[in-house]
A and B are shown apart, each in its own frame.
Chain A
Amino acid sequence: MCHEPTEAEMMQSLDHIIANFEGVEGALIPVLQSAQNLFGYLPESVLKHISTSMKIPYSEVTGVVSFYSWFSTVPRGKNIIRVCLGTACYVRGGKDVLKALQDQLGIQVGGTTGDREFSLEVGRCFGACGLAPVVMINDDVHQRVKPSKLREILSSYQKAGEEVHS
């Protein structure tokens, strides 16, 4: 089992990042990007820490975070599910697949399950229109997905995760 850094250690790393940008103009966004890579998301505590350390008003920090879609203030799941709602998938039932996923996971688009296994997002087009409807989980493309097959697909990811942990 690998050593997971404690919160204090991660905060220390964050201070290193901030120190590296000392005196650099416009450093807020690069710092936020590094922070998100470090923590996986941007919790309030991190944002407040960045605000005080960099002497940037908290309102400005959250203003920037909420503007860019890449930043997330909620924890994201281990597995990111992206349902394609490009034209081809839309017509071939991508919407039904999305609804079934929302029902099964009990989350909306942009949400993450309580156990942090899955986050649900929508995509525009993954260029696999002949295989519609398509769902992308992490980097795997699942083709011709039917609502009834979702359970099976999802469980393969949960299992894979458990094996790694055990």
Chain B
Amino acid sequence: MKISKITSVNQLTEIRDLEREKRDQEQNKLHVCVCGGGGCIASGSLSLKESLEHKIAESGIDVSVKLTGCLGPCSKGPVLRINPEAVIYENVHEEDIDRIVSEHLIKGRIVDSLTWKNVSDGLSFASQPDIPFFKEQTPIVLRNCGNIDPANIYDYIGHDGYQGLAMALKGMKPLCVIDEVTQSGLRGRGGGGFPTGKKWEFTALEKSEVKYVLCNADEGDPGAFMDRSVLEGDPHSLIEGMIIAGYAIGSSQGYVYVRVEYPLAVERLNLAISQAREAGLLGKDILGSGFDFDLGIRMGSGAFVCGEETALINSIEGKRGEPRPRPPFPAQKGLWGKPTLLNNVETYANIAPIIQRGAAWYGTYGSEKSKGTKVFALAGSINNSGLVEIPIGTPLGEVIYDIGDGMKEGKHFKAAQIGGPSGGCIPREYLNVPLDYDTLKELGAIIGSGGLIVMDEDTCMVDMARFFLEFVQEESCGKCVPCRVGTKRMLEILNRICEGDGEEGDIEKLIELGRQIQQTALCGLGQTAPNPVLSTIRHFRNEYVEHIRDKHCRAGVCPDLVRAPCQSACPAGVDIPGFISLTGEKRYAEALKLHRERNPFAAVCARVCFHTCEEKCRRSTIDEPVSVRGVKRFLVDQEITVQLPEVRENAEYAKRKIAIIGAGPAGLSCAYFLARLGYKPKIFEAEDRAGGLLVQAIPAYRLPRETLFREIRMIEGLGVDIETGKRLGRDFSCDDLKAQGFEAVFLATGAAGSVSLGLPGEEGPGVVQSLPFLQQYNIRGSVPVGRQIVVVGGGNAAVDAARTAIRLGAEEVTLVYRRSRSEMPAYDEEIEAALSEGVILKDLTQPVEIIRDSEGNLKGLKCSPVELGDFDKSGRRRPQVNRKKTLIIETDQLIIAAGQRLDQQLIDEQKLELGMNNFVFTDPVNCRTSRDRVFAGGDVTTGPSSVVEAIAGGEKGAAAIHQFFTGEDNVFWREDKIIETSYDPDSDPAPYHREQIQMIDAQRRKNNFDEVEQPWHEAVAIRQSKRCLRCDYGKVCQHQEVNK
């Protein structure tokens, strides 16, 4: 390219106008921008551009193709944009080129299959301004990225390039420039957030013949790549910012310190510098102003610490990149002992627009204390990963859900890690926090360089902290003791915790060490190194406790604590790979025995379990998770004689008197495990039948009663005595049991109290709570059912009530829920089944009034529509009722399923204390309540929860009672069994897809209570069990999970 020297501001403006004119003329002409950002190049955009150019030439059409900087959405790459309509095509491959040319470029028809699609809602958009990812952004730093050709200085000039410099040189004194920067409120974008204007002022005030302007482009934070994007996509914006800085502080030489890992950035920056020199924008007498300034590049050599300013200066001087003590600050004594100004790439890229458009304009973006915009690098478990620039103060939730298009694979947001190894995490309670310097600091995180890693529930926070600490420990330069030795000690503790050897007191040690390092380390690297640890302890202390005390990693990540992620995710700890592989070899009896080692209710759970095991299944990284429940459903049907696991008779234990109150899943499982140890516990059940909610609430079409009773009979067969019709509080009390000689009591009475809606008119005919409604039908065999029924609630109880009502002849059943369908706690397959049976779902609808006629008869439910607002503490969008609009749903029976709570009176009578969750308090280790010899488990302690969690609570209670009696803290069933099944670890994953569980047709099933789900045939079940990847292969966990 021929570049002639520009000698005056007027000449620069003339060139700009010429370029603009050229652009305006070509405005309506087709041209293609191919994204040349690092991500898109890795996915093949360079060869794509070549093919496109080739094809265009072949077709003989006049369309230009331009390689631009990063457009932003890296996960959608390669991305290209076709102007003038700004149509964005995503994931473009070689084979799509023909269609793009023949359809779009020749015939002018948009290729729909390649346009942008939101993953979360499936909406597609053609034009860039309509796409939420772009629409919500405010590009100042990235103003030119993706629009201009970074290898062409005229393209930059044509987009107002060097106009900021022109204004500064032409009419502003250096102090005015600094004042403008100060007024703008710009703060350092590299991490520290120090006011930029102040820094400039300090350097300007130093008296020295020689001063330096440095740019930190040593972007070392794993997960941040915005500086690279500017260097590669718009290098002149950095150069212009640095020249202005040089003018402001009185320096004539600058250096850019770029990391060696960015070869393309170095290449483009080199080219831009030489073009700027040819154009006279670098060198002597810039634009005829008499001001001289030149730039050089220095490359880093792979040392993270060189991102620290004094270490960076040492490195430019050709020394080891160790930090120097401050003061003196670089503003006083920096590079070669001269006053030195150091900012990062993003900060400099803000300067030209600030000078050109003014501090007041810049101040209209951002929050009160933090002005302007910030570029974030979105990555992790998020649909749109890539670069986004947003006004500072934008809430985190908006970035994740609006710009980022939500969580990958519909997973739940757990936390965002901001600021890399110097930063911290923000948990879901704070999705509303504005992303600004001060708010994040209060939460123990920092904006830092802007790396924003989104994490779902499959991330272990302890492991994450360890990951970052390992990084800083490796990168510590070793000059000061706190950083060199302190981070090493912290890492050792964290390694121990992750390996299952954590000790009580480790968390406190980590906090103490962390604080000391923060206060005493020499440089920023050391001072911030403990942040990821301290911040995860602050927000996720429980996970540390679980690792240390329970030897449990809830995310299924820490290898020493996790035999297989499914087993780790199962609250009852069932050996899932074991029984799946035994089923695959048709060894059904052994498989069932193995299941019942940890969970007596194999047949029940095959029907009603919420199978968290499948959520953690690693097969889902290949296609879909193994259908654990489907295999189990087949397996339990193969049981002819009941398969009992090991029982250790013990005459001594048999004499101990243990009472269990409540024959629900928790009480029954506690009895089962006690019986296997040789005890003969007695259960007191309030209702006429044992089974708790399994028999009272869960309808027979989901859980046939004979299936349930068979497993209860099995437990009775182990020597457990169940006495029905005995209600705690009515027929006996805990004191009575003690007086009768019971040595231990296990309380498992569940959470049978109902939560009301709190609307006037709730008391009266026609309104019933879901639990009594289901109970009455399931126990007594009949319940009054209306014609037009409204069920309020979104949980399984609501869906059960709705489907039961349909079966009992209701003509119309409407389910009213205040949040959106995707947020309903009920299992998705249950909701789906209800809809196909004719239940009408009105989500985003809030009941506001119960309407009755003059005689008090129920007439309808008045509701208002709900809009989703900001984020609440559960990380879900808060329902905001629009009371201006109402609708009335006619109804003659209203079933309320708004939740369950504790029967408060009962608990008060038994003199039991409550925990933080307002349910019965128990010690997490030994299940003891506030009363001597009274233990508790299940819903009464946890609040409404799942069947399998109640089973796990019962098991834990049995182990705790056994420990109380004998002092032994090991129970035999918790040891992993070695299962001999054939498995070739080198074989490829079985190529079968996940099979659905069949259901009886909706029309045939909606009039009766026959079981809806149908088991597979043997051949299907065997194939499905072969899909298991056997994560357990060759692994016996050394650490027994003591409790979960």
Contacts and interface: CB of A to CB of B under 8 A. Distances in A.
B303 interface: yes
Contacts of B467: 87
A52 interface: no
Given A63-B320, A146-B986, A30 B559 contact: no
Instruction: Specify which of B222, B318, B321, B618 lies most central, judged by the most chain A CB atoms within 10 Å of its CB.
Output: B318
B621 interface: yes
B260 A148 contact: no
A18 to B, nearest CB: 13
A90 interface: yes
Interface string A85-98: 00100111001000
Given A29-B298, A148-B986, A91 B318 contact: no
A27 B318 contact: yes
Nearest to B322: A67
Contacts of A70: 260, 300-302
A69 B301 contact: yes
A136 to B, nearest CB: 12
Nearest to B984: A148
Given A25-B336, A67-B477, A146-B986, A87 B463 contact: yes
Chain A binding site: helix, strand, loop or mixed by DSSP? helix
Contact of A26 (B298, B463, B477): B298
B557 A87 contact: yes
A38 interface: no
Contacts of A125: 222
Contact of B303 (A67, A91, A124, A149): A67
Nearest to A66: B320
A64 interface: yes
Nearest to A25: B336
Interface string A71-93: 10000000000000001001110
A12 interface: no
A28 interface: yes
A63 B467 CA distance: 28
Contact of A33 (B260, B320, B336, B985): B260
Nearest to B559: A91
Interface string A45-61: 00000000000000010
A25 B621 contact: no
Nearest to B316: A26
A71 B301 CA distance: 7
A30 B257 CA distance: 12
B303 A68 contact: yes
Contact of A124 (B222, B260, B463, B986): B222
A132 interface: yes
Interface in B449-493: 459, 463-464, 467, 471, 477
A130 interface: yes
Contacts of B559: 90-91, 95
A129 to B, nearest CB: 8
A130 B620 CA distance: 9
Contact of B321 (A30, A67, A87): A67
A133 to B, nearest CB: 11
Chain B binding site: helix, strand, loop or mixed by DSSP? loop
A86 B490 CA distance: 20
B425 to A, nearest CB: 15
A149 B985 CA distance: 11
A91 to B, nearest CB: 6
Contacts of B315: 29
Interface string B813-834: 0000000000000000000000
Contacts of A26: 298, 316-318, 336
B1004 interface: no
A90 B319 CA distance: 36
Contacts of B557: 87, 91
Interface in B57-87: none
Interface residues of A, number: 28
Contacts, number: 65
Nearest to A90: B559
B320 A67 contact: yes
Interface in B285-316: 298-303, 315-316
Contact of A29 (B301, B336, B621, B985): B301
A63 B315 CA distance: 12
Contact of B618 (A28, A90, A92): A92
A149 B618 CA distance: 20
Interface in A111-151: 124-125, 130, 132, 146, 148-149
B318 A64 contact: yes
B577 to A, nearest CB: 15
Nearest to A64: B320
B318 A28 contact: yes
Interface string B309-345: 0000001111111100000000000001000000000
B621 A130 contact: yes
Nearest to B306: A68
A64 B319 contact: yes
A33 B299 contact: yes
Interface string B551-564: 00000010100000
Interface in B891-917: none
Contacts of B459: 87
Contacts of B471: 124
Contacts of B618: 92
Contacts of A27: 318
B11 to A, nearest CB: 33
Contacts of B464: 87
Contacts of B302: 68-70
A25 B210 CA distance: 14
Contacts of B318: 25-29, 64
Interface in B67-122: none
B317 A25 contact: yes
Contacts of A148: 985-986
B317 A146 contact: no
Given A68-B303, A146-B985, A146-B986, A30 B320 contact: no
Contacts of A87: 459, 463-464, 467, 557
Nearest to B297: A30
B600 to A, nearest CB: 31
Interface string A15-35: 000000000011111101100
Instruction: Specify which of A28, A33, A68, A91 lies most central, judged by the most chain B CB atoms within 10 Å of its CB.
Output: A91
A44 B713 CA distance: 81
Contacts of B260: 33, 70
A91 B467 CA distance: 13
B301 A33 contact: yes
A35 to B, nearest CB: 12
Contacts of A91: 557, 559
Contacts of A68: 300-303, 321
B222 to A, nearest CB: 6
Contacts of A149: 986
Interface of B: 222, 260, 298-303, 315-322, 336, 459, 463-464, 467, 471, 477, 557, 559, 618, 621, 985-986
Given A124-B471, A132-B621, A146-B986, 15 more contacts: A26-B318, A33-B299, A63-B320, A67-B320, A67-B322, A68-B300, A68-B321, A69-B302, A70-B260, A87-B557, A90-B559, A91-B557, A148-B985, A148-B986, A149-B986
4 A-B pairs closest in CB distance = A68-B301, A70-B302, A28-B318, A26-B318
Interface of A: 25-30, 32-33, 60, 63-64, 67-71, 87, 90-92, 95, 124-125, 130, 132, 146, 148-149
17 contacts: A25-B317, A25-B318, A25-B336, A26-B316, A26-B317, A27-B318, A33-B299, A60-B319, A63-B320, A67-B321, A68-B303, A68-B321, A70-B300, A87-B459, A91-B557, A125-B222, A130-B621
